[in-house]
Structure 1
Amino acid sequence: MQSQIVTFLIKCPDQKGLVAKFTTFFYEQGFNILSCQQYVNAMADRYYMRIRLDAAEAEISKKELEDKFEKVATTLKCTWSVHYGKEKQNVAIMVSHTSHCLYDLLERQREGTIDCNISLIISNHNKLKPIADMFGIPYYHLPVSKETKIQQEAQIVGLLEEYTVDLIVMARYMQILSEDFINKYPQRIINIHHSFLPAFQGANPYQRAYERGVKLIGATAHYATVDLDEGPIIEQDVERISHESTPKTLKGIGADIERLVLAKAVKCHLQHQIIVSDNRAIVFPESGE
């Protein structure tokens, strides 16, 4: 195997000796362990591990590694995935009218703080095409109505397949995706919700937050599921406000939080820091990536 970082994400029923079994396995295959993060959910009796390995001295192919680990995983009733460091992921961004999250992701990708290929931008409006042109990224304007939703989503799926997209980011794409579409990409669609879920789901949350006189506003990034705004939460943040805040000022504060929350969620996904268990996202912190 070429010199690279290999990341395993593992979940299984909790039991004694798991750390020793996993670390011994990787040692015997010639890997150097760079970091080993773990979490035990005692209430669910579940064990989670994120382990990063240096493959410089490992004389084993990817297929051999995966076949050998599958035997261990079967014995321990594990669900697992493996990710190889040199495999840069292809990302599609979906937007509507609002530009702040799009700008932020494009700039972070250009600066290298988010390591991926932003392959294309898809929108149901043509308003943000100048931004795509500025960054030299293909922009696809695919209008949608209730009558054309099935055809429009089929066009989107075709583009995602054409560009071999690994991750879809809904950067304020103000359309509800169909169940069929979401089920094609489980845990591969990240949505930013301009509210601190589960409060103020749906549209126009800042107006409703103002009407309730809230003292905190925030944003939530989560994986999209068929249950609207109820997918596994990856990242959230809040900021304190006062009675003097108007819906307009709340929206401006919220936009800043949305940028940070979405960028962090995307980065966590790209760096393989997330294990989804039921409807919870176990998010491991960065470990020297």
Structure 2
Amino acid sequence: MATPTTTGRNPDDEGVLLVEGTDRPGLVHAITGVLTRHGANIVSLDQHNDGIEGGSFFQRAVFRIDGFVAERPAIEADLESTLGTGLGLTWRLADRTPKRVAILASTSDHCLLDLLWRQRRGEIAMTVPMVISNHTAVADDVRSFGIPFLHVPSQGPDKSAAEARIIELLRGNVDLVVLARYMQILSSGFLAEIGVPVINIHHSFLPAFIGAAPYRKAKERGVKLIGATAHYVTEDLDEGPIIEQDVARAGHADDAAELQRRGANVERGVLARAVMWHCQDRVIRHGRETIVFQP
């Protein structure tokens, strides 16, 4: 049973509705009408269209209704009849239950520990049922948060056994997977099998540097900006829909170690915001891009 918040609101009585489809007159009236018919109080409403006649429409509504859990099946039936069948819109209804997030990591700990710290402080609405790593370097730190640490080695060119084990651990147990500097490439079969979104973080230089020692290469080229990108993982390596990005200035006096320190700081913030927004149901994936209803 959920505990009421300090404002007296029970999170079990709150829901989030995400809608997308072809823009036309009357959509807002139809969407809010469904919620109103079921006694919902709409507390937040954000929408976006691409400015093209007959283009795309996106909306996020946060609402409160007494007994939402019991009323949810009726609301979903009404949404499908009115929005899905009636207007050809795609919709998704979510509650405020914290998402179950598994974190995959390797030896770098900055993104991993930042996420665990934010989760412990209640900054991100998630639980972390497990951390999986192909190394044991972060094991003690993870366990200090009271979170299970699972070691799944992944050496050599054939990763199938490791992926099969990770799938076994994740399937049915998580709502999201986060790659917190997990230095392994996931196969298309793995992504299909786990059946939940995967978020990744990586550096993003101008110009970009791939392969080993990117900060050393960046220093050698005299970059003036370093940054990070958080995105959903697809079969195309590092080309999934972008959720969040940020940059920091760099100068000629900064050595590779300083660039790496600043880069790690940017990575922490970018990944944390991407995970937080996903867990708050603020993100709609639309083809190769995302619509992010930021706070």
Alignment map for 1:36-47 (pairs within 5 Å): 36-43=45-52, 45-47=55-57
Letter in 1 for 2:58: Y
Please name the residue that 2:216 is paired with: 207
Asked if residue 159 in structure 1 is aligned to residue 179 in structure 2, the reply is no
Q: Distance in 1 between matches of 2:247 and 2:114?
A: 19
The offset of 1:196, in angstroms, is 4.7
Over the residues paired in the alignment, what is the CA RMSD in angstroms?
A: 2.1
Amino acid at match of 2:191: I
| Cα displacement (A) at 1:92 | 0.6
Within the alignment, does 1:77 sit opposite 2:94 as a pair?
no
**What SS is found at the alignment partner of 1:119?**
coil
Select the residue among 18, 27, 31 that pairs with 2:36: 27
Give the letter for the 1:121 counterpart.
V
SS at match of 1:51: strand
**Aligned runs of 1:42-57 on 2, under 5 Å?**
42-43=51-52, 45-56=55-66
Decide whether aligned partners of structure 1 residues 259 and 32 sit closer, same or farther in structure 2, where only a CA change above 3 A counts. same
Matched-pair contact (CA < 8 Å) for 2:43–2:63:
yes
Query: 1:101: which partner in 2?
Result: 111
The amino acid of 1:255's aligned partner reads A
Aligned to 1:120: 130
Q: Any idea what SS the aligned residue of 1:239 has? A: strand
8 Å contact 1:7–1:52 — kept in the other structure? Answer: yes
Q: Distance in 1 between matches of 2:154 and 2:212?
A: 18
Which whole-Å CA distance do the structure 1 matches of 2:260 and 2:282 have between them? Answer: 30
Indicate how the Cα distance of structure 1 residues 59 and 281 shifts in structure 2: closer, same or farther if over 3 A, else same: closer
CA–CA separation in structure 2 for the residues paired with 1:182 and 1:202: 23
Contact 1:29 1:59 in 2 (8 A): no
Q: Which amino acid aligns with 1:61?
A: E
Conserved in 1, the CA contact under 8 Å of 2:206 and 2:225?
Answer: no
- Partner Cα distance (1:243, 1:132) in 2: 37
- C-alpha displacement of 1:146: 3.4
What is the rounded CA distance, in whole Å, between the counterparts of 2:115 and 2:69 in structure 1? 38
1:219 corresponds to: 228
Structure 1 segment 131-280 matched on structure 2, within 5 A: 131-161=141-171, 164-185=173-194, 188-196=197-205, 199-201=208-210, 203-280=212-289
> Cα gap change, 1:231/1:185 in structure 2, threshold over 3 Å: closer, same or farther?
farther
Distance 1:201 1:42 in 2: 36
Instruction: Count matched residues.
Output: 284
Separation in 2, partners of 1:197, 1:233 = 16
Aligned mates of 1:118, 1:153 — CA distance in 2: 20
Measured in 2, the distance between the counterparts of 1:196 and 1:47 equals: 33
Q: Is the 8 A contact 1:8 1:80 kept in 2?
A: yes
Per the TM alignment, residue 21 of structure 1 is displaced from its structure 2 partner at its CA by 1.2
**Letter of the 1:33 counterpart:** I
Question: 1: distance between equivalents of 2:69 and 2:260?
Answer: 54
Give the deviation of 1:257 after TM superposition.
Answer: 0.5
Query: Does structure 1 retain, via aligned residues, the 8 Å contact 2:282–2:292?
Result: yes
The residue identity in structure 2 corresponding to 1:189 is: V
Equivalent in the alignment of 2:292: 283
Partners of 2:206 and 2:58 in 1: CA distance: 25
1:92–1:119 contact (8 Å) kept in structure 2 = yes
TM-score, with normalisation over the residues of structure 2?
Answer: 0.90
Runs of 5+ consecutive residues of structure 1 not aligned to the other structure: none
Matched-pair contact (CA < 8 Å) for 1:90–1:118? yes
Quote how far apart the aligned CAs of 1:148 are: 4.1
- Distance, in Å, in 1 between the alignment partners of 2:70 and 2:248 is 49
Answer whether contact 2:12 2:69 (CA < 8 A) is retained.
no
Distance across 2 between alignment mates of 1:185 and 1:216: 36
* CA deviation after TM superposition for structure 1 residue 183, in Å: 2.6
